[in-house]
Amino acid sequence: MPHAMWNVSEEPVRILEVVLPGGIERYFERIAPILTEEGPEWTARYDALAEEFGLTILDDWADELQARYGITL
């Protein structure tokens, strides 16, 4: 199910997302440090972790979201 989330305000927000069955929390724990990285190894680690969890990353619509909604990623 393709989806995206962002904060439309300048105020910090908290999100409660419930995903069933459980287990995806391990992905979020492991992706957090990867998202702070830079360089050529970043993409490989990002893609490998997604594959490990059976996720498909749809980066091809990021440009459209940025243009349509004026967001930065």
Convert the pLDDT of each residue in 1-50 to its tens digit: 778 888 888 899 998 988 888 899 999 999 999 999 988 888 899 999 99
pLDDT band at 53 (very low <50, low <70, confident <90, very high): very high
The whole-number pLDDT of residue 7 equals 87
pLDDT band at 73 (very low <50, low <70, confident <90, very high): low
| pTM of the full structure | 0.68
**Spatial distance between the Cα atoms of 67 and 43, rounded to a whole number of angstroms:** 23
* Exposure string over 42-52, b if 16+ CB within 10 A, otherwise e: eeeebeebeee
